[in-house]
Structure 1
């Protein structure tokens, strides 16, 4: 039975869909169209904008990347490549099954970092926006917006599913027993979390998003006062 007092918060990149595959496809496309040196220039612009804004600004990268390439015959194709990328083909296996299971237990909501254009577009291209009926929150730093998240989706208990362990640790520090953390060991961020995993273990660890559908509802309430 659905419990409206439970909200499941879901990261997107390398949690619901394979963003590492997208990054690899993007890098290869840049090499194919412009060469390895220009692909490295894209990467350098990306690094600089991430440091400045705190998220990947793909359209901002493209605006800067085209400087000096205005007359390249393929440069204008990159905007269409980005906006038309088939993110529906990058959704991890059993993601929809997992989301259906969470819907039977509570309210699933996307809680993601990102820009205000490309990240929503990604969710719509992946068809996850419709699956979640528009329950989407996208912030620059989601771990600093937990009060706003709670105002939008009030609940007695929250479950955060993410591949970035440092964010789970930060959210747990604020919400404490009202939050159950689920660490998904997918993607490059998860692979780099070894030391933090030993010192700040999450409540639940899964190897893939599909495993959510196999977890007993009581485990999601492990931090809830009075849970058994």
Structure 2
């Protein structure tokens, strides 16, 4: 998914601020939703997750820190906190609750859009139509998550799967995958790739038992296909 197709949820009870952010995000090409009540926002997030959340700290129903803490129990969606509190302790508390970034009011909406773009690029999302299965690549922490839950991958498996997910439907030869898998160019062979792919398949199927995502291409290599 291109970041400009990403869906962003604004959780903000100040309607003027929410409208301003919405206008700038829409102009940048994002899809935008808004919720003014913290409790209702959390209920919505439990049902369907956006690609990024802009989360105000002070909200009716449930405050932003509590929302952030709860969301981190089931999702690693990027969260940017919005607040008028500028003390360092508030920044630390916000980040320790699981927030990815922190913007203090008054802020430039262009800055918020820029930060959102950075976080969306950092956590690349691949999603099948209908939103039934979502893959997150977190390159900073070398993790790949399926619907918010991290797969238990080795570093080599992470590199292989991240490259495959980044280019859905593209066929990679075994030699190309070997190059991605082993940066030190050790003495390895095609069977090494087959073994890694077999392990990755098992780990994906543990999360998506009814879907086949990694496909063999006879005589060539492998491709990643979004589950249907």
Greater length-normalized contact order (CA 8 Å, ≥ 6 residues apart): 1
Larger-gyration structure (1/2): 2
TM-score bin (small chain): 0.3 to 0.5
More helix per residue: 1
More strand per residue: 2
Normalising by structure 2, we get a TM-score of 0.40
